[in-house]
Amino acid sequence: MSTPLDYLYVYLVSLMPFLEGRYALAVATILDLNPYLSLIMSSLGVLTLSLLLPTLVEHIDDFITSKVSQRKGYIACTVGPLYFRYIERLSKKREAISRLGTMGIAVFVAAPFPGTGIWGGSLLAFMLRLSKRRSMLALLVGGLTSNIIVFTSISIIKNM
């Protein structure tokens, strides 16, 4: 029997970098939760990230960069190198995505592959200097599309 806390867990997983809504749906399936309620909770996570990240990403970038420049602590030693390696990987995709603009960010976010998603899309939008409004739209459309792709795939597999 599922509880409201189970669905809160799905929502919280949907907010996590590299997991986001699509993996929250997989977690909900493993926990045998109602798929439609799980889709709603996961989509609320997408909405939350889509509205917050375009505003926060610049501050997150500044924070990590300042910690790395100080060369002290967990963030400088662990998170910093991973973050800059990820930024380097995103930079390679920047050219192709910049030609498509807002739609390119939405497609990048929608692709249900590791390393794509709302967090990565918000970094790309930041790197491309997309307006916050366009970033929010691209992240929302891409995140919801990704959720629908994963939800449909899980539904098909469960009914085989």
The per-residue pLDDT of the chain, averaged, comes to 91
Give the Cα separation of 120 and 115 in Å (integer): 7
Banded model confidence at residue 140, pLDDT cuts 50, 70, 90: very high
Helix (H, G, I), strand (E, B) or coil at 139: helix
Residue 68's pLDDT is what?
82
Banded model confidence at residue 80, pLDDT cuts 50, 70, 90: confident
Cα dihedral angle (16, 18, 21, 26), rounded to 10 degrees? Answer: -110
* pLDDT tens sequence across 34-53: 999 999 999 999 999 999 99
* pLDDT tens sequence across 87-104: 888 888 777 777 888 999
Whole-structure pTM value: 0.88
Residues 6+ apart with CB under 8 A from 157: none
Helix (H, G, I), strand (E, B) or coil at 119: helix
Residues 6+ apart with CB under 8 A from 114: 18
What's the start-to-end Cα distance of the chain, in Å? 24
* Residue 139, pLDDT above cutoff 90: yes
For the chain, the structural domain boundaries read 4-158
Number of other CB atoms surrounding residue 113 within 10 Å: 10
Span 23-27, average pLDDT:
95
